[in-house]
C-alpha cells in the first residue's frame, strides 16, 4: 500500500529548493537595508563632522559662536545623568524582576502587574518627561537637576530592564534552582549565588539596550527643562546640567550652517560613547556567560 506518490514528490522537489533559495536571499536583502542605512548615516555624519572634531571640541563649553562651541559640558552632564539613572534603574528593575519571578505568588495580581510592566515599556518617552516634571521637578521640588532628570530616565528604562531580566531569570533551569533549595539553601542564597550569576548575561543585555536609549533620549529632558547653554559642570546631583542629546538638538535648531557640522560632531561623540558602553557591557556579559 502506498499512500504517498513518489513521482509527485520528485516533481515538487525542485520547486521547494528554489523557494528555499529565494527566501534566503530575501532575508539577506532585508538585513542589508538596515546595514546600508547605518553606514550611510555614519559616513554622512562623519563627513560633516570631520573638520570640527578635535580636542577643543571635547574640552570647551557650549557657545553661541561657532568657533568656540564645544561639547564638554554636555559630555560631563550626560555622565552625571547616567551615574544617577543606571544604578537606580538596575537596582529597582532587577529587584522587581526577582520579586515577580522568584517570590511573588503565582496568581492573577502578579500576572496583572507583569502585563502592566510590559505595557509600560511601550509608553512614549515624552509621557515619562511629563511625569518627571510633575513628580520630581515640581512636587518634590528638585528643579531641573541631575537627580530629577536621572530619576525620570530611570523610570523610563525601568520596564525594559524588568522585562528582559524576567526573561533571563526565567531561563535559568529550574533544576539548578531545585538543586540549591534541595541542599537547604535559603531563597536569598539561591537567588544571590545561583540565579543572579546565571541570569546576569541576559540582564546586562537588557541594561545595554535600556541605557543606550536613555543616553540618547531628548524628549523627557526637553519637558523637564534641561538647559542647552550652561558654562559650568554640576558639582552635585542637585545641580542643573547639560546633556548630549539636548545640546545636539539645540545646535541643529541654530540658524548658522556651521552649527549643523558641530551637531554632527556631537552625534559622533555620542555614538562613540554609546559604543564604548556597549563594549563594556558585552565584555561583562561574556565574562559571566554560562552555557547549560
Residues engaged in binding another protein (CB under 8 A) = 105-106, 173, 175-176, 178-186, 189, 193-194, 197-198, 290-292
Q: Which three cell numbers stand for residue 103?
A: 517570590
Rounded to a whole number of angstroms, the minimum distance from the CB of residue 290 to another protein is 4
Choice between 122 and 184, CB closer to another protein? 184
Choice between 98 and 246, CB closer to another protein? 98
Rounded to a whole number of angstroms, the minimum distance from the CB of residue 176 to another protein is 5
Rounded to a whole number of angstroms, the minimum distance from the CB of residue 207 to another protein is 20
* CA 228 – CA 245 distance, rounded (Å): 10
| H-type alpha helices, the chain | 6-49, 55-59, 72-98, 108-120, 125-132, 146-170, 174-181, 187-190, 196-216, 219-224, 244-253, 258-288
Q: By 3-state DSSP, what share of the chain in percent is helix, strand and coil, each rounded to 5?
A: 75, 0, 25
Choice between 120 and 181, CB closer to another protein? 181
Rounded to a whole number of angstroms, the minimum distance from the CB of residue 152 to another protein is 37
* CA 88 – CA 211 distance, rounded (Å): 12
Choice between 194 and 254, CB closer to another protein? 194
- Cα 173 from chain centroid (whole Å): 27
Rounded to a whole number of angstroms, the minimum distance from the CB of residue 90 to another protein is 22
Choice between 213 and 285, CB closer to another protein? 285
Amino acid at each position: 500500500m502506498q499512500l504517498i506518490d513518489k513521482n509527485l514528490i520528485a516533481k515538487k522537489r525542485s520547486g521547494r529548493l528554489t523557494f528555499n533559495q529565494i527566501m534566503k536571499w530575501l532575508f539577506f536583502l532585508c538585513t542589508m537595508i538596515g546595514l546600508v542605512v547605518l553606514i550611510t548615516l555614519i559616513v554622512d555624519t562623519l563627513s560633516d563632522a570631520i573638520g570640527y572634531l578635535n580636542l577643543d571640541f571635547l574640552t570647551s563649553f557650549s557657545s553661541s559662536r561657532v568657533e568656540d562651541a564645544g561639547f564638554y559640558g554636555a559630555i560631563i552632564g550626560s555622565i552625571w545623568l547616567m551615574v544617577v539613572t543606571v544604578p537606580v534603574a538596575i537596582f529597582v528593575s532587577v529587584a522587581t524582576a526577582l520579586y515577580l519571578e522568584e517570590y511573588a505568588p503565582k496568581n492573577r495580581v502578579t500576572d496583572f502587574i507583569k502585563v502592566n510592566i510590559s505595557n509600560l515599556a511601550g509608553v512614549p518617552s515624552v509621557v515619562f518627561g511629563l511625569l518627571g516634571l510633575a513628580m520630581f521637578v515640581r512636587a518634590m521640588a528638585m528643579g531641573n537637576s541631575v537627580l530629577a532628570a536621572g530619576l525620570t530616565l530611570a523610570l523610563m528604562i525601568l520596564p525594559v530592564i524588568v522585562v528582559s531580566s524576567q526573561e533571563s531569570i526565567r531561563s535559568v533551569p529550574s533544576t539548578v534552582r531545585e538543586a540549591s533549595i534541595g541542599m537547604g539553601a535559603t531563597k536569598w542564597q539561591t537567588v544571590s549565588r545561583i540565579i543572579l550569576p546565571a541570569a546576569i548575561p541576559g540582564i546586562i543585555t537588557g541594561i545595554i539596550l535600556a541605557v543606550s536609549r536613555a543616553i540618547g533620549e531628548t524628549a523627557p529632558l526637553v519637558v523637564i527643562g534641561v538647559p542647552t547653554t550652561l558654562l559650568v559642570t554640576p558639582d552635585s546631583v542637585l545641580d542643573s546640567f547639560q546633556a548630549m542629546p539636548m545640546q545636539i538638538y539645540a545646535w541643529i535648531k541654530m540658524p548658522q550652517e556651521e552649527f549643523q557640522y558641530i551637531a554632527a560632531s556631537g552625534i559622533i561623540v555620542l555614538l562613540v560613547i554609546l559604543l564604548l558602553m556597549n563594549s563594556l557591557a558585552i565584555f561583562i556579559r561574556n565574562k559571566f556567560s554560562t552555557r547549560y
